[in-house]
A and B are shown apart, each in its own frame.
Chain A
Amino acid sequence: MITKSPTGRTSKALAALGLILVLVAAILLPAKTTYEGTIPVRTAPEIRGEEAATLTSPPNVPPAITRDYATKVIVDLEVLETTQRLADGVEYTFWTFGGGVPGDFIRVREGDLVEFHLQNHESSIVPHNIDLHAVTGPGGGAKASFTGPGQETVFTFTALNPGLYVYHCATAPVGMHIANGMYGMILVEPEEGLPPVDHEYYVMQSEFYTEGSFGAEGHQPFSYDKALAENATYVVFNGAVGSLTGDAALTANVGETVRLFVGNGGPNLVSSFHVIGEIFDNVYPEGGSTANHNVQTTLIPAGGSAIAEFRVDVPGTYILVDHSIFRAFDKGALAMLNVSGEDQPGLFNASPKKAVVE
């Protein structure tokens, strides 16, 4: 092997190479979170082709995006005012994005140009609109999407920032529109995508304010007084008491990975989201880009979100709750994840002494 002491010529070449590397790094790794000096207004990336967005109702999530380029995504979302079950024997007249609460899940890629069509069903009593927190632009699209009964509006936006974002109606009276169920979520996947997992689920907490007390039967009208006092009658996941329990529970098998897209529609309460018996391996607090690890309970603001990821190691039923615990056991904020598979006595053993005796 021939070694050669650096000459003046090679050190110059090394310096030039270093400069090139720095320049390449500056181009490849855009400083997204620093604002040194004057930075130009961001421009939309080149758009190739177009496609219709696949929307899903909860707890389902549209499939991961496999594209490695930005495209034009057409979203069709219809507002429907509809009377549905809030709890056993209890009905409520919901205002919905897509026919249920929470509204349909939307999935796009960072840089996509979204052409958003908002329809308001002709049977609606009032006009509606949509404010997507994923929108960079006035009102999050609220004013541009103001839609009377039987009408449709269209606006476009570029999904500049990746993350998990809440959308909601912002028509006056805003509180009532949200209290009646007008929220959902849109995921803007980062350009590099999300790591693959075995299951992705859509869970959104919110609260309802009814004239009757919790469980009072029949159709329950919205209570302005309770909403103003932030005295929720119901705190629920996915729009109704028991929407994710029993046969409707989320499922996974031992050894699989689960990603929960968790939102909080409010309108008032902050959620202390917790899964009894699990520890989140990764949490992206507030739906942002930085992961926290080994988290027991994560705080989700009203109008905010979190992405929680974990591997299920031990079979059994895991209970999703708002750990403001009276909400869980007395107001409905309880969902279930059923994990099937072989017992893992080395990780968890419900009765080790009994096993020894036998």
Chain B
Amino acid sequence: MIVLRFLLIGLLIPLPSAGQAEGTRSVSTPMAEIPAGHFVAPYGSDTLEVAAFEIDRRPVTVGEYRGFVARDPRWSTEGVKRIFADENYLSRRASTGDPLLARAQPDELLRPVTEVSWFAARAFCEAHGKRLPTVNEWEFVAQASRERANAHGDSGFNREILRLYTLPRSPELPSVGSIFENYYGVWDLHGLVWEWVEDFNSILLSGASRVDSGLDRQLFCAAGSQGATDVEDYVAFMRYSQRASLTASRTGRNLGFRCARSSLPSGSLARAEAK
């Protein structure tokens, strides 16, 4: 059912053509509204507040990214500046100049786009009036299981998502909307691709805080991980270590993204109240 819906969205994506100008058409990915809340990150004991926001219900697809590149040739494989994306940018998937992609089947278009840099992911979201989610927003949504908004400490859920990372991989990624839909109606946060977040490296970059040294302990075994709030949350360790390995121009075969947007009405209200 959901796959069919995505299939229809995929068919609506304009085919790339030489004459298309920037911003002619864009198809908006359905978003889920996430109410404000708080959570405890696996690297520390502080409760982190998350304001209300919206997030794409699934990762950005090859088809969608192809439409974006067609409208903005600065992000084509030929047009991109090397400082914004490494040499593997779109090398296997969404290049507009790729004759294979021109003949791509609908299921190819519905795969998550990967081999995109942080700069490129950001540009895509901006072009759609959105932004990348923050690491805290992403982690907040990702702690939801099918039934519960907060499955933190649910060992059954932890085992299930860990299992997703122990299965053999086929060379081609599955389509978006194929892993599972969580409590908020958001798909594929676990087990499909890693996803860029706006502040993917902020935790390690600031360097001096107690939280940082805590994360450092988790990522490298020297001092053990006994400070972890939930030692069972293995996939969280994998996510944080994966983010720590990135730089903004990096691309990866298993690294995609989705976009988010602040919930302006309630967000503005909250800011007004704060003042």
Contacts and interface: CB of A to CB of B under 8 A. Distances in A.
Interface of A: 81, 83, 91, 93, 122-127, 129, 131, 138-139, 142-143, 146-151, 170-174, 176, 180, 211, 219, 221-222, 224-225
B26 to A, nearest CB: 30
Contacts of A180: 166
Contacts of A91: 168
A317 to B, nearest CB: 35
B44 interface: no
Interface in B195-243: 218-222, 225, 232, 234, 237-238, 240-242
A224 B167 CA distance: 14
B245 A122 contact: no
Interface in B229-267: 232, 234, 237-238, 240-242, 244-246, 250-255
A126 B238 contact: yes
Interface in B127-166: 158-159, 162-163, 165-166
Nearest to B232: A224
Contact of B168 (A93, A146, A148): A93
B252 A221 contact: no
B103 interface: no
A138 B241 contact: no
Contacts of B159: 224-225
B45 interface: no
A151 B162 contact: no
Given A91-B168, A146-B220, A173 B252 contact: no
Contacts of B166: 93, 180, 221-222
Contacts of A151: 245, 250
Given A149-B255, A150-B88, 10 more contacts: A123-B253, A138-B222, A139-B220, A146-B241, A149-B254, A150-B251, A172-B241, A174-B221, A224-B158, A224-B232
A108 B15 CA distance: 57
A148 B221 contact: no
Contacts of B241: 126-127, 146, 171-172
Interface of B: 88, 158-159, 162-163, 165-169, 218-222, 225, 232, 234, 237-238, 240-242, 244-246, 250-255
B221 A142 contact: yes
B252 A172 contact: no
B167 A219 contact: yes
Given A127-B241, A171-B241, A172-B237, A146 B219 contact: yes
Contacts of A171: 219-221, 241
Contacts of B222: 138-139, 142-143, 170
A296 to B, nearest CB: 34
Contacts of A142: 220-222
B163 A148 contact: no
A81 to B, nearest CB: 8
Contact of A143 (B220, B225, B246, B251): B220
B244 A127 contact: yes
Most A CB within 10 A of own CB, among B220, B252, B253: B220
22 contacts: A123-B253, A125-B165, A125-B169, A125-B254, A138-B222, A139-B220, A146-B244, A149-B254, A149-B255, A150-B251, A171-B219, A172-B220, A172-B221, A172-B237, A173-B234, A173-B237, A174-B221, A180-B166, A211-B163, A224-B162, A224-B232, A224-B234
B245 A172 contact: no
B234 A170 contact: no
A225 to B, nearest CB: 7
A213 to B, nearest CB: 17
Most B CB within 10 A of own CB, among A122, A148, A176: A148
B254 A93 contact: no
A84 to B, nearest CB: 10
Contacts of B253: 122-123, 149-150
B167 A221 contact: yes
Contact of B245 (A93, A147, A173, A176): A147
Contact of A219 (B158, B162, B168, B221): B168
A89 to B, nearest CB: 15
Nearest to B158: A224
B189 to A, nearest CB: 15
Given A122-B88, A131-B221, A148 B165 contact: no
A81 B245 CA distance: 17
Given A127-B242, A172-B241, A174-B225, A149 B252 contact: yes
A127 B237 CA distance: 11
A123 B88 CA distance: 12
A237 B88 CA distance: 38
B242 A126 contact: yes
Given A148-B246, A174-B225, A122 B220 contact: no
A27 B240 CA distance: 50
Nearest to B194: A125
A125 to B, nearest CB: 6
Please provide the 5 A-B residue pairs with the shortest distance between their CB atoms, ordered closest to farther.
Answer: A148-B245, A172-B237, A127-B245, A221-B166, A170-B221
B232 A172 contact: no
